[in-house]
């Protein structure tokens, strides 16, 4: 993997990071430290999605041009982040989450959810700047690198209001090149209706492929963690310095930390115990940090948009 030092937000005092493959969002604080080790990068970054490679992704921009993907506060910048790790989760088989898919280019970049035999719901920041001919979807496998079925993508329907600066309207639909046959490893997830509201404390499952804190564990096997829906007002207050939480977002996690969305890839599912897809893994600050739950794109908000574009 080619490693390129880059400064975030054009500030020479910001900690350089490594340019990598993948698909997720990082938040990084100013840091005068000259330590650029992998651990320092992890400690300073927010990770929301597992992918190949290490470090943070900084979109390439023209010289002296600030990336439109960056949002600054006094000492914080939000940028795409593509690496991940599992905290507080455990291995599961694809039969436990048969709606889970792996979105791939040359390797895994994001998660997603089967919503019908031919349509996938994922995050817009996973498809931003990509074309269908460069994407494939692996379905029906507990491992993202093999098994199941690898299918071409024929169409991307990214939400027209997607805003990379604050990660709002982070939704994208993928149409597969062919319909799949459902079995115990491949099933469509249940979708909520527009009026449906996930109550505070509702237990949910988040799944995906990601690094664990144990270096001896493989990243290739599907993992799951349980997280409760977090109070929206409290969540928005905690994220106020990052721009807050919009109506298109829903928060899940523990006030004390310990489990978080970083066990799921960006674009991956947040599903209730009843099997209803309430969220799409989107962004957050830190990995399982106290006081900072993971932030997901609220599926019920775009239920009509999904129906209009897919017929589902």
Which residues belong to the active site? 125, 170, 266
Whether residue 242 contacts residue 110, with contact meaning beta carbons closer than 8 Å, is answered with no
Whether residue 15 contacts residue 248, with contact meaning beta carbons closer than 8 Å, is answered with no
Residue with tokens 């999605």: 49
Gyration radius of the chain over CA positions: 18
- What's the gap between Cα 22 and its chain centre? 10
DSSP H or E segment with residue 224? strand 223-228
Distance, in Å, from the CA atom of 197 to the CA atom of 214, rounded to the nearest integer, reads 36
Give the helix, strand, coil percentages of the chain, each rounded to 5: 15, 30, 55
Residue 60, judged by CB atoms within 10 A of its CB (0-12, 13-18, 19+), counts as exposed
Whether residue 126 contacts residue 110, with contact meaning beta carbons closer than 8 Å, is answered with yes
Using alpha carbons only, give the angle 182, 202, 260 rounded to the nearest 5 degrees. 80
């Amino acid at each position: 993997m080619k490693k390129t030092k880059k400064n975030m937000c054009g500030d020479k005092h910001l900690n350089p990071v490594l340019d990598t493959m993948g698909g997720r969002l990082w938040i990084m604080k100013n840091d005068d430290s000259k330590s650029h080790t992998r651990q320092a990068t992890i400690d300073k970054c927010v990770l929301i999605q597992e992918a190949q490679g290490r470090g943070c992704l900084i979109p390439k921009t023209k010289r002296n041009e600030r990336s439109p993907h960056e949002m600054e506060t006094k000492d914080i910048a939000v940028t795409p982040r593509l690496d991940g790790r599992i905290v507080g989760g455990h291995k599961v088989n694809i039969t436990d989450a048969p709606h889970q898919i792996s979105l791939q280019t040359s390797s895994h970049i994001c998660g997603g959810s089967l919503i019908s035999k031919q349509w996938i719901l994922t995050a817009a920041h996973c498809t931003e700047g990509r074309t269908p001919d460069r994407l494939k979807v692996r379905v029906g496998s507990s491992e993202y690198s093999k098994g199941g079925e690898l299918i071409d993508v024929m169409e991307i329907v990214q939400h027209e209001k997607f805003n990379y600066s604050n990660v709002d309207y982070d939704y994208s639909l993928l149409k597969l090149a062919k319909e799949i046959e459902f079995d115990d490893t491949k099933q469509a997830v249940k979708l909520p209706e527009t009026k449906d509201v996930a109550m505070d404390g509702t237990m949910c499952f988040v799944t995906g492929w990601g690094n664990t804190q144990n270096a001896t564990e493989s990243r290739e096997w599907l993992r799951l963690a349980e997280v409760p829906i977090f109070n929206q007002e409290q969540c928005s207050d905690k994220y106020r310095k990052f721009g807050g939480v919009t109506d298109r977002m829903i928060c899940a996690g523990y006030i004390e930390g310990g489990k978080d969305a970083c066990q799921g890839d960006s674009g991956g599912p947040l599903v209730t115990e009843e099997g209803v897809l309430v969220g799409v893994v989107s962004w957050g600050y830190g990995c399982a940090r106290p006081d900072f739950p993971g932030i997901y794109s609220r599926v019920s908000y775009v239920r009509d948009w999904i129906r209009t574009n897919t017929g589902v």
